[in-house]
Homo-oligomer: A and B are copies of this chain.
Amino acid sequence: MAALPISLQKISLFLERLPGIGEKTANRLAMYLLRLPENDLKEFAEHISELKKRTKLCKRCMNLTEDDICSICTDEKRDRKTITVVETVLDLLSFETGNIYNGTYYVLHGKIDPLNNIGPDDLYIPSLFTRLEKEGRDVGEIILATNPDMEGEATAVYLMTKLKELQAERNFSYRITRLAYGLPIGANLEYADYGTLGKSLENRRDF
């Protein structure tokens, strides 16, 4: 590293802090940046230094936005009676890039994880219920789309219980659903793990 000029070293060290980027990749990326046109670098630098100032959370769904309410929540073509609850904005993006969903979202920004001391109040769970208390009557379905791992599952169960409590208390009529588990498309039975295979058997459908 000492062989590199300081300015390049600093960029490389910064890049190394990013997830999935080690020293070699960081050096390679820094080297690549050096080859880009100066204007592109300047523009990128401006976006970086403005990033935190400009970006905030949508007041309705906690998605990232530059305004008070995000582009999904303001989109009138969206089915606002359906709310999909996801762990992160990246999960939301997966639905969006697939073009498979036309409802709205709610982003928890994490999952309940007792081993790491993350409880419901550390996530955006209380504000979900504040919203539902006001708007619950207009909601048709809440799809729990946390990840199929232990913490995601625990989060879904916690939400389900709380959502049912609220429903009983206030006489709301929303459905509470969960994403289906099963074999991924294109999978090979031979290589499927038994957890997935078991789920795909358990959730089999008439043909």
Contact = CB atoms under 8 A, between A and B. Distances in A.
A71 interface: yes
A90 B28 contact: yes
A196 interface: no
B44 A11 contact: yes
Contacts of A51: 7-8, 11, 33-34, 41
Q: Is the interface of A mostly helix, strand, loop or mixed?
A: helix
B42 A7 contact: no
Given A2-B96, A50-B7, A29 B18 contact: yes
Nearest to A33: B51
A141 to B, nearest CB: 20
A100 interface: no
A7 B54 contact: yes
Contacts of A93: 1, 3-4, 27
A122 to B, nearest CB: 15
A105 to B, nearest CB: 9
Contacts of A14: 40, 43-44, 47
